[in-house]
Amino acid sequence: MAIDTANASPAGHPDDRAIIGPGYTFGSVTEKISAIVLTRRVPRFWWVGFGIAFLLVMMLNYALAYLLLKGVGIWGINVPVGWGFAIVNFVWWIGIGHAGTLISAILLLLRQKWRTSINRFAEAMTLFAVACAGIFPLMHMGRPWFFYWLTPYPNTMGLWPQFRSPLVWDVFAVSTYATVSLLFWFVGLIPDLATLRDRTNNRVARVVYGILAMGWRGSARHWHRYETAYLILAGLATPLVVSVHTVVSFDFAVAIVPGWHSTIFPPYFVAGAIYSGFAMVLTLSIPIRYLYGLEDFITSRHLQNMGKIMLATGLMVAYGYGMEAFEAFYSGNPFIEYLQLNRMMGAFAPFYWALIFCNIITPQALWFRAVRTRPILLWCVAMVVNVGMWLERFVIVVVSLSRDYVPSSWGEYRGTVWDWATYIGTIGLFLCLVFLFVRFLPLISIFEMRTLLPEAHVPEAPLPAAAGTPVPQEVK
């Protein structure tokens, strides 16, 4: 979509329909994005933010080292609640990683050009979230050095892996998702890595970017192969958006536990994953947009579109909550009915009503254009949704396990300081990776932003007719 008078106000400022500010050229777009990595001085806020995130990573390392020394008993899990923060945080992080693939793959196939400003760091966010998610089931195993038991290696006795275990399904689904997402992200980076290679004055950086650019020279053959590979990877990644969190939902849906054994879980979990993923994209993009002065690239239209998608998926999640309550009271099953009442009025009732407030009531503000066009308000809504989606996973896991079929097996669960240290530490790891990504790689796709400029859509001039060749007359 080229920026013309339909996309800019008479004063020359972009309006809500613009996906790039006016007045840019190929050179200015390249310079503005690459300067963040190559020539601009590292700002003070980057050092402060990275320092805080690095301290949280050190806390994570200490918590994991102590866990390996003492065992999973340092967590709050017990006999009735065998799954605690580990699975809650695993599902939460996997959900956050969904928006990157949705923005990059599905919106690419649908030819939505507004994705170009946000797809790069959304894809990176996917990889970082999956890396954080993988820590929890690995540590939850108790003996993580036997993780290879989950892989389909040749086994004469047929003991491992146990394909009826949802944990094995997760390994297949998440590893496939991570692999395709990594390839998709890296292939999209190749032209921009070549740009950084050619523009940097640092010899070491030139060598590193040159190796990563894999000999890119921008020839017609390179572009043809690039576009083919990128489209194939987009087609592979699209079904993964649905399949990965569907498989994660099977962790619960295949278990005969009140509140889990429900067919609504697969679509409900997929919608919730996209919901929380876009909330995290907004959580990151709004500060990045402000701190690096990228308001002309991440415009009001991007924020509005992401707000609308959050609103749509939030309504789907609200429908899932309503179906859970309807099923509980309409089914006549006393166990499921008691579970729903326990969620509403039991020991964990504050968590349930907090998630209703965060995930259903607060996002209704997105109906109003004034909220969607004000970055600070949109950022606040996104942060509330992030909290609400974590509470949702906590209620699903803990409340169901703490009140099972047999009252004598009931028990309470509270996360210990080590649960919180591990969880907050993974947030630090996620932010630390984001800071490094912003510092050393272009956070917005340079060549895709250039395709939005008017110069990229100038029609080719007709070739001059050869001597003696009759020129076709215009049809009257």
Burial class from Cβ neighbours inside 10 Å (0-12, 13-18, 19+) for residue 406 reads: exposed
Report the chain's C-alpha Rg in angstroms: 25
What average pLDDT score do residues 57-68 get? 94
Model confidence at 458, pLDDT cuts 50, 70, 90, reads: low
Which one-letter DSSP state was computed for residue 441? S
Which of 135-149, 318-332, 363-377 shows the lowest per-residue confidence on average (mean pLDDT)? 135-149
d(CA 465, CA 443): 46
Q: What is the pLDDT at residue 403?
A: 83
d(CA 312, CA 327): 23
What confidence tens digit (pLDDT) does each residue in 274-315 have?
899 899 999 999 999 898 888 888 888 888 999 999 999 999
Q: What is the pLDDT at residue 476?
A: 39
What confidence tens digit (pLDDT) does each residue in 146-161 have?
887 777 666 666 666 6
d(CA 83, CA 141): 11
* Structure tokens that stand for 161 in this block: 């892996």
d(CA 430, CA 438): 13
* Structure tokens that stand for 406 in this block: 């047999």
> Contact 437/121 with Cβ under 8 angstroms?
yes
d(CA 400, CA 409): 12
Q: What is the pLDDT at residue 6?
A: 36
d(CA 8, CA 18): 7
Query: What are the extents of the domains in the chain?
Result: 45-152+162-453
What average pLDDT score do residues 345-369 get? 91
Helix (H) or strand (E) holding 268: helix 265-291
What average pLDDT score do residues 202-209 get? 91
Is the pLDDT at 472 greater than 50? The verdict is no
**This model's pTM is above 0.85:** yes
DSSP helix/strand/coil, 8: strand
Domain 45-152+162-453 sits in CATH 1.20.1630.10: yes
What confidence tens digit (pLDDT) does each residue in 84-134 have?
888 999 999 998 888 778 777 888 888 888 888 888 888 899 899 999 998
Which one-letter DSSP state was computed for residue 395? I
What confidence tens digit (pLDDT) does each residue in 217-250 have?
888 899 999 989 988 988 888 888 888 888 888 8
Q: What is the pLDDT at residue 419?
A: 92
